[in-house]
Structure 1
Amino acid sequence: MKGRVESIRQLLSYAAVGVVNTLVGYGIIFASMYLLHMGPVASNVLGYAVGVVVSYFLNRRFTFRSSRAARTEFLRFVSVVLLAWLANLAVLVFLIRHMHVHEGLAQVPAGVVYLAISFLLSKFFVFASRDSRASRG
């Protein structure tokens, strides 16, 4: 029961961090575009890069309370974000092109896929303690 409660706490914290990093990322995107007069692509790259860093540090500190080597974790985190985004994109394209789901509506299940993959891989791969990985396999 204690493990289940901790997992729910982590999922809720992970979702809250996602809201924060989304707000920070979009804030940087729009500030870059409209205050710094950067192009939309450069602004987007900058906003997402900062969002990933913010997400990593908040999840490391508050969601998973990790004290492991940050460099290895960060590289794993970036890999997980990329994998989750690719899965998100695949679901999005499949739903739009093959299932004829509305483009806006298709974003919802694609986002759920991103959240599920990124959370689970963060919990069991990026931020997993050596003890928890050893006990699973």
Structure 2
Amino acid sequence: MKQLLRFAAVGVVNTGLGYAVIFACMYLAGLDAVASNVFGYAVGLVASYVLNRTYTFRSAAAAPGEIVRFVSIFLLAYLANLGALLLLIHRVGMHEGGAQLLAGVVYFGLSFMLNKYYVFAVNRAGTAGR
């Protein structure tokens, strides 16, 4: 339960940081919305990896392999989120706002489980993610 709460706290921090970068790029640096979004998400993704590695899961494994797994899981969880969103809106007929919330739960749950048991998992031999 403690890891789940830490994971959620890291999510709040990296989301806030990502939005801060997005708005700083748009309103202080004069970048367009798309470029600002790319920079914000990149910063948020890096912050998420570093904080989850050090704070949530306290990993000591080699970082290069973890980074590849982390980005892969991020993409997989995002695609699951998008799939759930589209399913809920177009097949179930759910209101878009409610669908966003439920799809977010799918993203959060899948991301936590895969980060815990795949990205930052260390087996008895000391190798990560296997």
TM-score by length of 2: 0.94
Q: Are the structure 2 counterparts of residues 132 and 51 from structure 1 closer, same or farther at C-alpha, using a change threshold of 3 Å? A: farther
Percent sequence identity over aligned pairs? 57
Match of 1:14 in 2: 7
Task: Give, in angstroms, the shift of residue 131 of structure 1.
Answer: 2.1
Q: Are the structure 2 counterparts of residues 128 and 97 from structure 1 closer, same or farther at C-alpha, using a change threshold of 3 Å? A: same
Q: Which amino acid aligns with 2:20?
A: G
Match of 2:116 in 1: 123
Distance, in Å, in 1 between the alignment partners of 2:42 and 2:62 is 21
Q: Which amino acid aligns with 2:13?
A: V
Match of 2:33 in 1: 40
Match of 1:4 in 2: none
TM-score by length of 1: 0.89
Deviation per CA, 1:50-88, whole angstroms, max 9, x where unpaired? 101000000000100001101110110000000000000
Matched, 1:80 2:69: no
Computed over aligned residues only, the root mean square deviation of the Cα atoms, in angstroms, reads 1.7
Secondary structure of residue in 2 paired with 1:131: coil
Q: Are the structure 2 counterparts of residues 68 and 93 from structure 1 closer, same or farther at C-alpha, using a change threshold of 3 Å? A: same
Matched, 1:60 2:53: yes
Secondary structure of residue in 2 paired with 1:130: coil
Structure 2, unpaired ranges of 5+: none
Contact 2:22 2:36 survives alignment (8 Å): yes
Deviation per CA, 1:7-26, whole angstroms, max 9, x where unpaired? x1110000000000000000
- Equivalenced residue count is 128
Task: Give, in angstroms, the shift of residue 99 of structure 1.
Answer: 1.2
Q: Which amino acid aligns with 1:39?
A: D
Structure 1, unpaired ranges of 5+: 1-7
- Greater helix percent: which structure? 1
Deviation per CA, 1:88-137, whole angstroms, max 9, x where unpaired? 00000111111111111111110000011110000000000122999xx9
Distance, in Å, in 1 between the alignment partners of 2:43 and 2:113 is 22
Matched, 1:24 2:17: yes
Contact 1:124 1:133 survives alignment (8 Å): no
Contact 1:84 1:114 survives alignment (8 Å): yes
Q: Are the structure 2 counterparts of residues 70 and 20 from structure 1 closer, same or farther at C-alpha, using a change threshold of 3 Å? A: same
